[in-house]
Structure 1
Amino acid sequence: MRGIKFPFGYKFENGEVHIVEEDAKIVRRIFEDRINGVTSPKIGAALYAEKIPYFSDSLAKAEDKVMTILRNERYFGADGLPPAITEETYQQARSKMRKKRDDKTAAEHRLIKKMSFCEVCGTHMGHNYSGSGVPRWCCATKDCVNRVPVITEDMYKNAISTILNSVVKSPKLLNVKSILTEYEPNDSVEEHERKIAEMLENQPVDAEKVTAEIFILAAERYSCCTFDMTPYITAELKATAKSAELSETVDLGLLQQIADRIVVSADKKISVIFKNGKRITYKENDTNE
């Protein structure tokens, strides 16, 4: 099991995964507080204020870790881990985090599906339900490697919201390397430069003809410039992210404003590709070795 990561509240010892009871009490408290109507940011703030080690890095990280814990199905026994809470407790807490499924939410859900692609075959990710009625995501192409195993609804949306929250907290993550202007002269430019040089050598200089030729050369040089709009797009995306707020669920309005698409790789890594080409891949940060 070396190299496998486990959520906060678990440890690997003597060949088995065990619950760390002291940490599990905090996990249960988080779920109970959420069921009782306390928001994730407030729960995180309380844990940070109490200087509980796992939540003591920063206030923002504490809030983020609480959100991740509340979305993690492994706490009620998924993936074979010993359950720290019941599935009923998990679902009660999740119900507090979900928006009502009205027509607007349905339209927003269609937006996520429209933006989601399998990186292996390029097909849209499909959204369906398992035999037990659990919503899940997988590639719509029958023989694609991303067809199975499927990604649960909570796992998929958790990845997207975590990535969006990361750029809300730190817009500089959207920075990309770019070249503002690239100039590569062609044969026509070199010809006009040679012609102007010859005109200036002939005395007396015909100022009117030289001026006309200089204007032609300027137009030719301009046509040889490639302008990269990426820095301007990046600045706009960062401003949008900076003005947004952390969200327990996917902020679909923000997603539509700053993201181009969502992709799933062959190893089931979920990434958001932003409108400036920046790629951010979901990494579970609520883990221990």
Structure 2
Amino acid sequence: MANRKILYGYQIIHGDLVIQEEERLTVQNIFTTYLAGLSYQALADRMNADNIPFSQESPLWNKHKIKRMLENSRYAGGNGYPPIIDQDTFQQVQEKISEKTSGKFPRRTESDGLWQKLRSGCCQTRLLRTGGPIGHTGNVHLKCSACRNAFVVGKEELLAQTARQLAVHETPVCKPYAPSAEAIRLANAINRALEQPGDGKEALSHILQGAAARYACCDNGVDTAVSQTQPDQIDWERFERTVSHIIIGTDKAITVHF
């Protein structure tokens, strides 16, 4: 049974902070069971019923000890602590706590998977959504539990950028080369000039003009249909299959990774 001057789940051995294996199992059980639906008090009651002491000085658990544990980012590797809980589990717990605290339990939508894929541009850690609208407009507030940076991004812009980058990834945007009448005329002129004796100046002039004409025929690389893709056109099944994560930069840049 440990002295609780050291965070539950850890111990000091030879001056090093290491995981206490028995307590590690308890910590993991508390996190997963909370996600399964048990309340703070129900978890505390279970710990006490199973005779699992919290510490030598204060062996009994209560809902406040459970709450502090569930909100402590050090269990997910924060502040240099060896992680007991993976980042995804920790973030899911924070989202559930946030929903319960606010008293809001929004209806799940197809776009809910979007929030699971947001990552910090600073450390690539998953971002926790701490506030924002349920609809398509308004600012979404995000926070990284690892680097503690906060991000604010417009939900409409987030959806629009996601839709566009997904469409660009899935849709070929390079159109076949189609020479114009001028490009064809200059190509013929080049062939004739090359067949004529002389210093080649006329042929060179036609070659330069022909290159400019060909360039003018090239597609600009942006398909109009892709550039006009709307947020409500996102295929969420395809999104789940193809999108690895979405980086939110400190400059609010949104980059979808596949």
TM-score (norm 1): 0.33
Q: RCO (CA 8 Å, sep 6+): is it higher in 1 or 2? A: 1
TM-score (norm 2): 0.37
Larger radius of gyration between Structure 1 and Structure 2: 2
